[in-house]
């Protein structure tokens, strides 16, 4: 990574998955293969990363994917989000 001053920073980071804006979704094969076991503990990296990718479709990703009108009976997507 290069910062604003042009200094290059290198680091190693272990991830279970990553959804990149304008890029691919990468997933840990180990966690995908153990999805049933992990889901029983409340973890699902596949669902998590795909929902993040959907969230990135909105102008400002905020942790909630864009919601369509009619979602949960709301008249507009905004009303669904507020509900």
CB 61 within 8 A of CB 53: no
Total number of residues shown for the chain: 83
**Is residue 25 predicted with pLDDT exceeding 90?**
yes
Residue 3 belongs to some domain of the structure: no
Q: Is residue 11 part of a domain?
A: no
pLDDT average, residue stretch 49-72:
83
Structural domain for 44, as ranges: 17-82
12 assigned to some structural domain: no
Which residues are 8's β-sheet partners?
A: 2
For residue 9, tell me if it sits in a domain.
Answer: no
| Assigned domain for 1 exists | no
Asked whether residue 7 is assigned to any structural domain, the reply reads no
Count the domains in the chain: 1
- Has residue 57 been placed in a domain? yes
- What is d(CA 27, CA 64) in angstroms, rounded to the nearest whole number? 20
Q: What DSSP character marks residue 39?
A: H
- Report d(CA 56, CA 65) in Å as an integer: 7
Q: What is the pLDDT of residue 55?
A: 86
Helix (H, G, I), strand (E, B) or coil at 25: strand
């Amino acid at each position: 990574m290069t910062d604003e001053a042009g200094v290059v920073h290198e680091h190693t980071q272990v991830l279970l998955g990553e959804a990149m804006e304008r890029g691919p979704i990468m997933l840990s094969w180990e966690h995908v293969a153990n999805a049933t076991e992990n889901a029983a503990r409340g973890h699902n990296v596949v669902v998590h990363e795909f929902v993040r990718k959907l969230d990135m479709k909105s102008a400002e990703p905020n942790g909630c994917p864009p919601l369509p009108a009619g979602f949960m009976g709301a008249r507009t997507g905004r009303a669904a989000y507020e509900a």
